[in-house]
Structure 1
């Protein structure tokens, strides 16, 4: 098992989640994918399609999200996308309000300086933010 996946599994275990083959494969799939994925994409991925069913993937995603290990993105009426929350690895996203497509913003995050300022002035620890921009993608425009 890759050391990055092992670190994620260890974090899960530390939060009281059971180590299963399905959990390992889900974490590996999310880790190796450069973009957020839908439930259907995850369930149909080569690592998971023979390992477990869509309901199991959904339950795992819910558990990971409730423990702050996965971020759910997207519009409520569209398919949800899921991505790992990894300390010191941050992405902000553009979300199309018509088709629901999601892509990472490839620019420096303008909020990091503000986050540092808030952390220093308030004493909050483990401070993070999530930034999503909504609009119409070029394909839908």
Structure 2
């Protein structure tokens, strides 16, 4: 899996996606973001606001998720967040159950060794995991 824009676009093309300006700008925006982004944030971003409409961005996100190029995060009743799946850049997340905000956890993932052991003992290939912690963020906790 790629970790720069050109490699990412090539990967998308190898998965059957057409290279469009909207796809390039969406990928560039997600690559440069330090956190997952919502559909609304993406469509309002300077790169995409004049490039395409919300429906186009949504369809691109769905295709990228279907191809395993990005990950959809969030609580079911809240807005979804989207983050690229990049090699050697595994991220786990904290999700607020009150406001729905999502932020990456800046700590070593405790599941990597378990993942290796499971892969070894079961014979599964391309094993990966997604780890999300749910709770109330400091801002929401202060408001109670």
Q: Quote the offset at 1:139 in angstroms.
A: 0.9
Corresponding residue of 1:4: 4
Aligned pairs, how many?
Answer: 139
Corresponding residue of 1:134: 134
The structure 1 segments of at least 4 consecutive aligned residues displaced by more than 2 Å after TM superposition are none
Structure 1 residue matching 2:103: 3-state secondary structure: strand
Distance 2:92 2:122 in 1: 24
Residue by residue over 1:15-65, the C-alpha shift from the partner in whole angstroms, topping out at 9 and shown as x without a partner, is 111110100100000000000000010001111111101110000000000
Corresponding residue of 2:68: 68
Corresponding residue of 1:111: 111
Superposed CA RMSD: 0.9
Distance 1:73 1:130 in 2: 10
Q: Provide TM-score, normalisation by structure 2.
A: 0.94
Distance 1:67 1:88 in 2: 18
Q: Quote the offset at 1:125 in angstroms.
A: 1.1
Any gaps of 5 or more consecutive residues in structure 1?
A: none
Q: Provide TM-score, normalisation by structure 1.
A: 0.96
